[in-house]
Amino acid sequence: MRRGITIGTTHYPTKEAVRNVCRGIVQRYGIGGDVTDPDDDAFCRHLLECHPEYDLKRGTGIAHCRVIAHTDHGRRSVGLALVRLDGDVADFSWNACLTPFSHRTQVLAALRHAIADQVAASRSAALNSGQPLVCSVTGSPIPSATELHIDHATPTFLDLAEEFITGNGGADAFRILPDSGAGVSYIELEDKVLEERWQDHHQERAVLRPVLKRVNLSDLRRADGPGTTAP
């Protein structure tokens, strides 16, 4: 098995290395400071996706993250929190984010990885259409390729995935391919016939659309769950 942990697209050799990144963010912004650097913001969002109660924590969607002080069993400590789109603040433990994924979370990750080529094809089509790039949610221009994300319209990725999982025996019927330990590691389904059926199901039912990066990383998170499709 490949050692370490991957947050977003970055692989860290140990969980302690991830904790050190969190501590560095806390030190840079200080208590009450909003996380504004794009790389720090992306790290916090990807870290949050690993939280076992991500859906509960994100609530109406994530506007940004913040350094806060809180008291736990009488002991004051400094940590990270998310600020929701509705203004509510919810703290989260980065140690909780480093716990192993549940089987269901692994199945969803494997299903998302299996349709990565379809997402990439949709993105290429948008870029090569010769038409101005416009966000399907806000109607605003998408100024560059770096600001272009691809998202699911209704039905969302989670809608499609849950529909497929339920129709194929539930999450326990989906076996995860053991990690080869070679190069970049992805979570994949062991049953490639089942994977192809999922790809066909997604190809037939999914409606992919161009959106602004900032919209995909905030407003749409509440609808499409962890790992919303991106470049």
What six digits make up the tokens of 9? 């697209």
Domain coordinates in residue numbering, the chain: 5-97, 103-224
Residues of the chain with pLDDT > 70, as a percent, come to 85
Nearest to 231 by CA among 154, 155, 145, 161: 145
Label residue 21 exposed, middle or buried (CB < 10 Å: 0-12, 13-18, 19+).
middle
Report yes or no: 196 and 138 within 8 Å, Cβ to Cβ: no
- pLDDT attached to residue 75: 58
CATH of segment(s) 5-97? 3.10.450.40
Q: Is the pTM of this model over 0.85?
A: no
Q: What is the pLDDT of residues 111-123, one digit of tens each?
A: 988 998 999 999 9
Interatomic CA distance for residues 223 and 217, integer angstroms: 11
Q: Taking residues 7-34, what's their average pLDDT?
A: 93
Identity of the amino acid at 24? G
- pLDDT attached to residue 3: 72
Diameter of the chain measured on Cα atoms: 60
Report yes or no: 179 and 46 within 8 Å, Cβ to Cβ: no
Q: Is the peptide bond before 231 cis (omega within 30 degrees of 0)?
A: no
Q: What is the pLDDT of residues 124-156, one digit of tens each?
A: 999 999 999 999 999 999 999 888 989 999 999
Dihedral, CA atoms, 178, 184, 187, 192, nearest 10 degrees? Answer: -70
